[in-house]
Amino acid sequence: MTIEQDEMMPWHERQSGHQQSRENDYRTPYQRDRARIIHSAAFRRLQSKTQILAIRQNDYSRTRLTHSLEVAQIGNGLVHQLKHSASPDAPFQKWLADAALIETVCLSHDIGHPPFGHGGEVALNYMMNKNGGFEGNAQSLRILGKRGSYSPTYGMDVTRRTLLGILKYPVLHHDVVGTYPAKPARFRQFKASHWAPPKCVYQEEQTLLDWILMPFSEADKVALQHTTRTTPQSHAKSSHSSFDTSIMDLADDIAYGVHDLEDAIVLGMVTREMWSEHLEPQLANLSSSFLSDNLDTIKTQLFSRQSHLRKEAIGSLVSWFITACQVVEDKRFEHPLLRFQVTLPDSQRQALSLLKNFEMAHIIQRPEVQMLVYKGQQMLLEMFEALAADPSRLLPREIANEWQKSINEGHDGLRIICDYMASMTDDYASRMYNKLFVPSLGSVFEPM
């Protein structure tokens, strides 16, 4: 075994230990990881989970599944760009993820997200705030490392490096959670902005987190888990993540900032006038020859009502971001998987931030969108309350058995209920709500 192979071996390991490949199976560990994600029930459920615009409002807008596919494609593009734009002898090259690895990380980055988008995440965190909280990225790690369908103990049982790649926030809940207000008397008085979760790993996954970080030195572990807190009451925020995570995170931002904007334009939620008034002047102020030369053309193409022209504009923006990516080095870290990070130059970084902020202000925060978010939250709050009140009666038999096992082991069982609710698609959650609470709907013969 070469020195390079020896360096990589810890990152190929799975929690279950060495597994003999099937006969004539020549796939790499990361190709096997990718197959496990794609063929998992948790991944398939993303096809009916909200990305930004609610499912079933139309048959065009992106879902969590199509978003994840786009993130994987962009992540692959970033890796390809870095591989071929830098010197083959650049020190980061041997640690640059291959296609199978970065696709696996990108495909699975949202696999723990609940129904009804980030609104559902806030609702579940509200119900779990005294019992360890709920957070989408933490749930993704829980599925891949504990709750997935490929092992009764180790979830998807993917490699250590894949788990490191989805670990956006490598800090434990207890170390970052802030102070919440008193809960209102009724769910209708629930104010979402008060109940956003901290970005973290659940306390229950401390052993898993320790296993993922095992190859790093103690100094690297301490630096990686550094946090900052703006006020004594606010959630603390982690400051660092891995090389692979930085690629996935950038791909996620590009997909959100550019591709999700396309949905809003096609559906008429963003107009040419809105672009001209709120976004174009800010983009024009950036120091960028690309924007100076192409901003008028991009606007014309985006709002042309011709799909091939709109796609040309979207492709131009995505290409501008991908081809500008660069690797920077953080000398605070010893290990290359922590020392190297992918980022954008100032102009591209500011432009992407402007796009994301525009979408937040003019799409996500629109009252008609927020009404649907609120409705989804109310449904989850009421269902969680009902299921937690009488789990053995209302939970599906298999989930009820898990809940009982948790009780027998001395836990409160709420995490099992939360896992079940987080796994629901928008459609499934809506059908269950109707079955539980709408007298004229629901039947014992109606499948869930």
119 and 236 share a domain?
A: yes
Whole-model pTM: value is 0.94
266 and 356 share a domain?
A: yes
155 and 195 share a domain?
A: yes
Q: Is residue 44 part of a domain?
A: no
Residue 145: give the domain boundaries.
Answer: 110-167+169-240
Q: Is residue 361 part of a domain?
A: yes
Q: Are strands 237-238 and 227-228 parallel, antiparallel or unpaired?
A: antiparallel
269 and 316 share a domain?
A: yes
Q: Which residues contact 267 (CB under 8 A, 6 or more apart)?
A: 53, 58, 60, 61
CA separation for the pair 298, 320 (Å, rounded)? 12
Q: What share of the chain is helix, strand, coil (3-state, %, to 5)?
A: 60, 5, 35
Q: Give the domain-ending residue among 184, 217, 240.
A: 240
123 and 232 share a domain?
A: yes
Q: Is residue 446 part of a domain?
A: yes
Q: Which of 387, 386, 372 is nearest to 426 (CA)?
A: 372
262 and 183 share a domain?
A: no
Largest CA distance in the chain: 68
Q: Is residue 420 part of a domain?
A: yes
262 and 213 share a domain?
A: no
236 and 115 share a domain?
A: yes
pLDDT digits (tens, 9 = 90+) for 324-357: 999 999 999 999 999 999 999 999 999 999 999 9
Q: Is residue 277 part of a domain?
A: yes
Q: Residue 275: helix, strand or coil by DSSP?
A: helix
pLDDT digits (tens, 9 = 90+) for 192-233: 999 999 999 999 999 999 999 999 999 999 999 999 999 999
271 and 334 share a domain?
A: yes
Count structural domains, the chain. Answer: 3
Confidence check: pLDDT of 402 > 70: yes
Q: Is residue 176 part of a domain?
A: yes
| Whether 240 contacts 59, CB under 8 Å | no
At 135, the pLDDT band (50, 70, 90 cuts) reads very high
Residue 442: left (phi > 0), alpha (psi -120 to 50), or beta?
Answer: left
Q: Which of 344, 340, 345, 342 is nearest to 92 (CA)?
A: 340
